[in-house]
Structure 1
C-alpha cells in the first residue's frame, strides 16, 4: 500500500467545505420554513400543517447529523495531516479511513433527506391537484 501524504487528506478540504455550505443552506431554509409554518399553525390548526412540521423536524434532524458527520470528517482529515506531519503513518491511515467513513455516512444521510424532501413535495402537489379537482 502506498504511504499517505499530506496532500491526500487535503484534497477533501474543498469538497467537504462545499458540502458543508450546502448543508448549512438547507438548515437555514428549514429554519425559515419552520418559523413560517409554526406561525400559520397558531393562526389555524390544520392537520396538513402538522404533517409538514413533522416532516421538517425529521429533515432538520437528518441535516444536523449530516453536518455533524461532515464536520467530524473534516476534523479527522486535519488530524490525519497532523499525524502524517509527526510521522505516525499507521495511525494517520486509520484516522483517514474513519474520516472517509464519516463522509460516506454524511452523504448517505443526504440521500435519505432528499428522498423525504421529494415525498413532501409530492404531497404538496397532491394537495394542489385535489383542490383543482374539487
Structure 2
C-alpha cells in the first residue's frame, strides 16, 4: 500500500466531520429555541421533541468521535507506511475503514431519528388542521 491510499480518505472524512458539526450546531439552535418556548409555555409536545433531540445529540457526538478516530488512524497508517511497517499499516487502515463504516451507520440512524422528529411536527400540524376544518 502506498502512502496516498489512506491520504485519499482525508477529504471524505473531513467533509463528513464538517457535516456532522453542522448537524450538531443546527440541533443546538433548535434545542435552545425549544427551551425558550418551553419556559414561556410548557407543552408536552416540546418534551417529546426534546427527548428525540437528546438522543440525536448523543448519536452525533458518537458519529464525530468515531469519525475523528478514523481520521486519526489514517494518519497513523501513513506514519506506519512511511516507516516501512506494511503489515501494521494494513491493519490500522482496516480499522480506520471500520470506524468510518460505524460513523456512517450512526449517521443513518440519526437521519431516521430526524425524520421521526419531523413526523411528530407534521402530525401536530395535521391535528390542528383537522380541528380547524371541523369548526
TM-score (norm 2): 0.95
| Count of aligned positions | 131
Per-residue CA deviations over 1:50-105 (Å, capped at 9, x if unaligned) read 01111101001100000000010000000000000001111111000000000000
| Partner SS, residue 116 of structure 1 | helix
Moved over 6 A (4+): none
RMSD value, Cα: 0.6
Deviation at 1:123, TM superposition (A): 1.2
Distance 2:43 2:99 in 1: 39
Per-residue CA deviations over 1:29-65 (Å, capped at 9, x if unaligned) read 0111111111111111110000111110100110000
- 2:18 paired with 1:21: yes
Give the structure 2 partner of residue 52 of structure 1: 49
Distance 1:127 1:46 in 2: 12
Distance 2:8 2:107 in 1: 21
TM-score (norm 1): 0.96
Alignment gaps of 5+ in structure 2: none
Deviation at 1:16, TM superposition (A): 0.4
